[in-house]
Structure 1
Amino acid sequence: MKFCSLSSCSYANSVVIQSRNTCILIDCGIRKRNLKPYLEQIGLSLGDIDAVLVTHCHSDHTYGLRHLLKLKNLPVCSTVNVLKQVNSCCTFYEQPDFYALHYNSEKKLGDIVVTPYRLSHDVATVGYIITGDGERLGFITDTGFVPENCFKSFKQLDYLYIESNHDPEMYKTSAKPWHVIKRNLGPTGHLSNEQCGQALQTMDLSGCKLVMLAHLSEDDNEPQKAMQNARQYLPPEMALASAPARTPGLWSDRIIKP
């Protein structure tokens, strides 16, 4: 199994996960004009996508979903609460094929198994453990803190995709309104670099091959800051990367074995 970030920032988020026989998209915040070109850059087409997982309804994760579903009818999967909010927020051309997942319960999509976990954001939001080809990926973004259930369940991972959204010090000179800063720093906001580091320190990452930092703020963070912070909590042999903001990154297997 391998994965690749198509876009990761406060503007648009989407990740492709591919196993031997199945290809799924986590979120589709990508604009209409970028979706096909981004997939082509990593050697895929719309025809390769088998399903969409959604983490939550915010537009940076769902903006391109209605366009994607107009081009190809795909199952859209998440928990009931998330799907209800997505259905309310997105103006779909036709009613999507929604498939409800249950917290902490496995669901098979082709030869990939997905398990959703409750996160702490200002709307219903889930993280995932995704298993395929005998490997496990932990996926955690858009949460004000990492809940205890994730620390208990996110074990024996081969890969971890985790939010490292902002540097609190940079907020001191931020142009953002105070209510936005307060929200992002709060328990239903986003993980800071320091919170990400604490999570890496607490998680059992023995055997993990790659940690990818995600959802970095373009205004209130820098990849170098996030990477330097995370590096101190990881063994030197573990690969560490930062997902590019508005362009596809490398497939995970190329990062581990360049």
Structure 2
Amino acid sequence: MSLQYSVLASGSTGNSLYIETEKHKLLVDCGLSGKKMVDLLSQINRDPKDLDGILVTHEHSDHIKGLGVFARRFQIPIYANTKTWQAMSDSIGNIDSDQKFTFETGTVKEFGSLQIESFGVSHDAAEPMFFSFHQEDKKLTLLTDLGYVSDRIKGVIRESDAYIIEANHDIQMLMMGRYPWNIKRRILGDSGHISNEDAGLALSEVIGHNTKRIYLAHLSKDNNMKDLARMSVEQKLGQYGIQLGEDIGLFDTDPDIPTRLCAI
């Protein structure tokens, strides 16, 4: 039984991840319009009517923009922790009680053979959490929207087969850019976003023998570039003796183009 996935969209304009096992199909976040979500799924030949649930990481608009409309249209269950439900209630509109489910931080939820491990992160939201997906001996980790990668998180995500990890900004581009200082301070702070170098450093401590694919996610359109992010992460990994190539692939994500549906 394989675990398949596609990063449908990633960036400041909207985020969503598709996860599929033999018997279940799930989304993580729904940060684009309902119409766009249908289009993104169609690009990987998937139908929203087949979805079994939507997991929510946190209430920021680039993660829940289309959530209410999309879930109501296709009658999809939504899973979020209690504080996130409270924080996003006004933004997503009325959701029928039979579509509302609680998935608390630090717990594991099962969808058949798929085990989903939730863990908290440091970000300026009510109670942000991300996930490691376990299918038999396979493991996929999604980790974006956090100010730093703690030792606790590293312990949870270590030795994943694939990582979808934030490489939000290049520090020099951010500091020289047009953002006001209060926004720069927020991004650089412990509740903001991790840089290319931070991503590379964290990966150097968690990559295992089974790690085959790394996706750089949530790149800032103003303070980063794909080539720069890849180069920075590759250089940082090289400093710790980890070489990318045939054994470990490094891949881009896009704000509005899904990655190829892959299996681990």
What is the TM-score normalised by the length of structure 1?
0.92
Please give the alpha-carbon distance, in whole angstroms, between the structure 1 residues aligned to 2:174 and 2:180: 10
Residue 206 of structure 1 aligns with an amino acid whose one-letter code is H
> What's 2:260 paired with?
250
Q: 1:220 aligns with which of 220, 223, 232?
A: 223
Distance in 1, matches of 2:260 and 2:178, equals 32
Alignment of structure 1 residues 184-195 onto 2, 5 Å: 184-195=187-198
8 Å Cα contact 1:78-1:116 kept in structure 2: no
Cα deviation per residue 1:226-245 (whole Å; 9 max; x = unaligned)?
11112231432201101112
The question of 1:144 aligning with 2:147 is answered: yes
The reply to whether residue 36 of structure 1 matches residue 38 of structure 2 is yes
Shift of 1:247: 1.7
Which residue of structure 2 aligns with residue 104 of structure 1?
106
Residues 1-12 of structure 1 mapped to structure 2, 5 A cutoff: 1-12=3-14
Percent of aligned positions that are identical: 27
Q: Is residue 26–residue 55 contact of structure 1 (8 Å, CA) maintained in 2?
A: yes
Conserved? CA contact 1:19–1:133, under 8 Å: no
What is the match of residue 177 of structure 2? Answer: 174
Aligned to 1:18: 20
Match for 1:203 among 179, 202, 206?
A: 206
SS at match of 1:227: helix
Aligned residues: 254
Aligned partner of residue 231 in structure 1, secondary structure: helix
Report the CA distance between 1:74 and its aligned residue. Answer: 1.7
1:78 aligns with 2:80: yes
- Structure 2: which 5+ runs fail to align? none
Q: For structure 1, which segment, 184-193 or 110-119, has the greater mean C-alpha deviation from structure 2 after superposition?
A: 110-119
Contact 1:56 1:82 in 2 (8 A): yes
In the other structure, the counterpart of 1:235 is: 243
Q: Residue 16 of structure 1: SS of its match in structure 2?
A: strand
Large movers: runs of 4+ above 6 Å: none
Q: What's the TM-score, normalizing by structure 2?
A: 0.90
Unaligned 5+ segments in structure 1 are none
